[in-house]
Structure 1
Amino acid sequence: MISETIGQMAALLAASFWAVATVLYHRAGSHFSPLQMNLVKGVIATPLLLIVSLLLGNSLTLTSGLWLLALSGVIGITIGDSCHFAALRRLGPWHAMLLEYLAPPLAAFMAWVFLADGLTAIEVAGAVITLSGVLVVVTEKAPDKQPALSLAGILFGCGAAVCQASGLVMAFSVLQTESVNAIDAAFVRLAAGSVLLAIIVGLSQRKAYGAIVSQLRSINPLPLLGAIVFGTFLAIWLQQISIANINPGLTQTLLSTAPLFLIPISLLKKQKITPRSVIGALISLAGIAILFL
């Protein structure tokens, strides 16, 4: 009972931290490309996870499971987070996060296909309701003097959801079959994703790393550092703690409450959120709950 409570609280805290981080990432996103932003967060957060792991006295053993965790990091972090940052730049925090509601039903479908975890009629209904809520939001007509939702942004957001779901299923399969500490699992995924990102960014242009350092020196780093600490270091760690203590489906359901935490944040910032967007978010959240609970 205590472990379930820990898992539930960890997932809700991760969702709230990711909501705060998304707002901060959006604020810093105009200064970096999606790949650069993704690399910066990985370079800062990966050592933090390693330091915490060492302080806790953990030790990693090279097994086939860890290699699968690394691959899940490449898919979910290298590709998925880059797509998310691209969507964030084009859609803003609210709509970019709402598209992540696609991840739970996609994860359920992938688990059915690859892990032989069958879907019941109720679970299919939950997936349909989730998708309906997303469609309610992304098909909304833009108010006067506001740009319509970017098609490229929607595609990037959908791509992020697909990668998140793929990485989620792979990570779940490892955590269910092997004894891996939560902080170590988070470190392996983030380190693998960041190493590949460093290679891609380095090959993409000359003096790429120098350009990133120069850009970091020219801006106020506090919002970006806050986003990395809350959204990458703490949120990923809490996600792995939740997965280790409760059903993966419940973890994903609770993580999917992140857009709802944006409502009070946006109201405090005096930003407008349409009733249709709120209704769409609630419909999707209800679908996720039906899908997994």
Structure 2
Amino acid sequence: MDLANVWGQLAALTAAAFWAVASILYHRAGAHFSALQMNLIKGAIASPLLFAMSALVGAPLGFSSGLWLLALSGVIGITVGDSCHFAALRRLGPWHAMLLEYLAPPLAALMAWLFLNDGLSGIEIIGAMITLLGVLLVVTERTPTQQPSLSFSGVLFGCGAALCQATGLVMAFSVLQTDALDPINAAFIRLAAGSILLAIIVGLSQRHAFQALFRQCRAINPMPLLGAIFFGTFLAIWLQQLSIAHINPGLTQTLLSTAPLFLIPISLLKKQTITLRSVSGALVSLGGIAILFL
């Protein structure tokens, strides 16, 4: 196998592992912040890191019409999508919130077919249906008392996050296909645009919103949150771009979708119970994504 392909695959798998660990750390910090606040803190810290990385290794950034579409993709995928993900994370926990992200690849494939003239073959349709089946196996699971084990609002937020992230991904890829834009620059533009709008929304939500946010940050141990941002946002995005540079985006998305599987050994080490149905649903969804993209 080509060494570049190996590096690309290892980069995607490492990013998936970082996202899995970060989801646990974000969940721990989520009790102290709202979804919007958490998303804003993430962007405020990760955006300068991405800018520094872009300045060091990225090509010079020029202005083009595609930048506006890229910024809009950041608003949809990050301002709305990541806020929905953090809301789902608070209500569902890391395992189920990440499993709902399995909806993003088939949704992205459907939108690429509708808007980018990238047609779906029969096998790709089958892959999308298998992915949805795996998600349904998990989100419809019930407790022994036959009460829904998952928050309905949490599931809605998780589905909304997948839809927004898929939309942002398709928009970003459409720009990268037509504009000579370095992927790390694209990642910075999307995150910065999404974070700027978040700052405006949080600032208008209440008086002295930022002072209150600073007080909340000082009242907690910042290390879990900083670790989540550094590994789950900054490094994971960089590894994602590195993977796309060496292997096709479909394979990258498939490997990134293994993130929930990394939660299984982590949860077992923490002596937490994961049901056979949840594990089966994760594996079925992963198989569907592999069929969809490979």
The TM-score, its normalising length taken from structure 1, stands at: 0.96
- The Cα shift of 1:4 comes to 2.6
1:188-207 deviation digits (Å, cap 9, x = unpaired) = 11000000000000001111
Distance, in Å, in 1 between the alignment partners of 2:190 and 2:8 is 20
Q: 1:275 to 1:100 in 2, by over 3 A?
A: same
1:145 deviates by 11
Contact 1:185 1:240 in 2 (8 A): no
CA contact (8 A) 2:142 2:148 kept: no
Deviation at 1:52, TM superposition (A): 1.8
Identity within the alignment, %: 75
The separation in 1 between residues aligned to 2:75 and 2:254, in whole angstroms, is: 23
Q: In the TM superposition, what is the alpha-carbon distance from 1:240 to its structure 2 partner?
A: 2.0
Q: Deviations over 1:169-193 (max 9, x none)?
A: 1111222232222221111110000
- Gaps (5+ residues) in structure 1? none
Q: 1:263 to 1:57 in 2, by over 3 A?
A: closer
Aligned to 1:211: 212
Match of residue 125 from structure 2: 124
Q: Which amino acid aligns with 2:116?
A: L
Amino acid at match of 2:169: L
| Equivalent residues in 2 for 1:269-288, closer than 5 Å | 269-288=270-289
In the other structure, the counterpart of 1:136 is 137
Deviations 1:203-248 (A, max 9, x none): 0111110111000000000000000001111111222222233222
Question: RMSD in angstroms over aligned alpha carbons?
Answer: 1.5
Gaps of 5+ in 2: none
> How big is the shift at 1:40?
0.2
Q: Distance in 2 between matches of 1:186 and 1:269?
A: 33
Query: Counterpart in 2 of 1:84?
Result: 85
Q: Does 1:192 align with 2:193?
A: yes
Moved more, 209-218 or 65-74: 65-74
Measured against aligned partners, the alpha-carbon deviations of 1:59-85 in whole angstroms (never above 9, x if no partner) come to 211112222221111111000000000
Matched residue, 2:246: 245
Equivalence map 1:12-91=2 (5 Å): 12-56=13-57, 58-91=59-92
Q: How many residues align?
A: 293
Displacement of 1:280: 0.3
Q: C-alpha offsets along residues 262-283 of structure 1, whole Å, 9 cap, x if unaligned? A: 1011111111111100000000
Give TM-score scaled by structure 2 length: 0.96
Report if the CA contact (8 A) 1:71-1:192 is conserved.
Answer: yes
* Distance in 1 (alpha carbons) for counterparts of 2:59 and 2:15: 22
Deviations, residues 6-46 of structure 1 (Å, cap 9, x unaligned): 32222111111100100000000000000000000000000
Match of residue 175 from structure 1: 176
Report the residue type matching 2:87 in the other structure.
Answer: A
Aligned-partner Cα distance in 2 for 1:8–1:98: 21
**Aligned partners of 1:142 and 1:149 also within 8 Å:** no
